[in-house]
């Protein structure tokens, strides 16, 4: 199956203005020819507009890390989907584990944000993944199935063509404990099975499913070799141009 190959960097709440600009320029400087590989960066929202300008006409697409689902109104501190669209980004990260577990976002919030993204022609990158205690209780599949079913409950087959899924086991995020390539691949296969049940085989085979959780230049080769891993969502190692570029270039 010839699927898209995507390398996404989630900068989270790191890097002030100058460091953010230097980082994207550093990535662009040594990105080189990447063929069909696709690169997306998710900078802090305050700096996105300038980074979109810098990335125009390059191989880097830009996204925003989070938004609210209402169009406008008395929601102090939030960013609306219309504002996200207005700064010309293509992607919106939805349901990252830190949004779910630090800020208490529910499956219902995730589902509403996905609908809001489509209303404003934004492409959602939707994160799912189990906590360590859920994994230890043998509930990983059950948790991921619930997250996927609730997230896409209202999404048509046509809209699913614009979705990217990221499987990010929470115990692997920022911990240095990467999933084994086989372990991640089997969850990706399971995600495709769920989507086949909800939609059809064609969609389940074509949708990009990324892995995220302690991806580094020295473990990308094993992960990217796996049949059902279509790229990676990288946190810590996307904060230095060299390590993010090494991940992109070392992937098979």
Residues with a catalytic annotation lie at 96, 168
- Which of 39, 226, 233, 241 is in the footprint of ligand PEP by CB under 6 A? 233
Q: Which of 43, 212, 217, 231 binds ligand PEP (CB under 6 A)?
A: 212
CB distance 81 to 119 below 8 Å: yes
Q: Which of 6, 7, 10, 163 binds ligand PEP (CB under 6 A)?
A: 10
- Least distance in angstroms from the C-beta of 217 to ligand PEP: 12
Half-sphere exposure of 49 (CA within 13 A, CB side): 5
Give me the residue label for tokens 């302690």: 214
By the rule CB under 6 A, 174 interacts with ligand PEP: yes
Residue 248 touches ligand PEP, criterion: CB under 6 A = no
Tokens of 115: 């609908």
Q: Which of 111, 236, 245, 251 binds ligand PEP (CB under 6 A)?
A: 236
User: And the tokens for 49?
Assistant: 């507009």
Residues in CB range of 234: below 8 A, 6 or more apart:
7, 8, 9, 10, 212, 215, 244, 247
Of the candidates 250, 241, 247, which has an alpha carbon nearest to the alpha carbon of residue 30? 241
**Residue from 23, 67, 165, 173 binding ligand PEP (CB under 6 A):** 173
215 binds ligand PEP (CB under 6 A): yes
At residue 228's C-alpha, the angle toward residues 110 and 65, to 5°, is 30
- Smallest CA-to-CA distance from 217 within 181, 248, 179, 180 is with 248
Q: Does 214 bind ligand PEP (CB under 6 A)?
A: yes
- Give the span between the Cα atoms of 219 and 169, in whole angstroms: 16
Task: Please state, in angstroms and rounded to a whole number, the distance separating the CA atoms of residues 99 and 219.
Answer: 26
235 binding ligand PEP? (CB under 6 A):
yes
Per CB under 6 A, 9 contacts ligand PEP: no
Q: Does 213 engage in binding with ligand PEP (CB under 6 A)?
A: yes
Give whichever of 187 and 215 is closer to ligand PEP, judged by the CB atom: 215
Give me the least distance between CB of 233 and ligand PEP, in Å please: 5
Residue 64 phi/psi, 5-degree rounding, is -115, 145
# of chain residues touching ligand PEP (CB under 6 A) = 14
Q: Which residues bind ligand PEP (CB under 6 A)?
A: 10, 12, 168, 173-174, 212-215, 233-237
């Amino acid at each position: 199956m010839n699927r898209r190959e995507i390398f996404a960097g989630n900068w989270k709440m790191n890097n002030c203005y100058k460091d953010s600009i230097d980082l994207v320029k550093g990535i662009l400087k040594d990105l080189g020819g990447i063929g069909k590989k696709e690169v997306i960066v998710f900078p802090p929202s305050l700096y996105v507009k300038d980074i979109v300008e810098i990335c125009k006409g390059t191989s880097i697409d830009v996204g925003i890390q989070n938004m609210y689902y209402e169009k406008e109104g008395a929601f102090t501190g939030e960013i609306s989907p219309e504002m996200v669209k207005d700064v010309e980004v293509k992607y919106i990260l939805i349901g990252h584990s830190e949004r779910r577990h630090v800020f208490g976002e529910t499956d219902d919030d995730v589902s509403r944000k996905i609908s809001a993204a489509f209303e404003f022609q934004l492409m959602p990158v939707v994160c799912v993944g189990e906590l360590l205690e859920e994994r230890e209780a043998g509930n990983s599949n059950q948790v991921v199935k619930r997250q996927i079913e609730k997230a896409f409950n209202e999404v048509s087959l046509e809209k699913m063509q614009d979705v990217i899924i990221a499987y990010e086991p929470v115990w692997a995020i920022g911990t240095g404990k990467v999933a084994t390539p086989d372990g991640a691949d089997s969850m990706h296969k399971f995600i495709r099975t769920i989507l086949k049940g909800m939609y059809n085989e064609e969609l389940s085979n074509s949708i990009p499913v990324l892995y995220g959780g302690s991806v580094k230049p020295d473990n990308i080769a094993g992960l990217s070799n796996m049949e059902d891993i279509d790229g990676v969502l990288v946190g810590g190692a996307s904060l230095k141009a060299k390590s993010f570029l090494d991940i992109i270039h070392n992937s098979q």
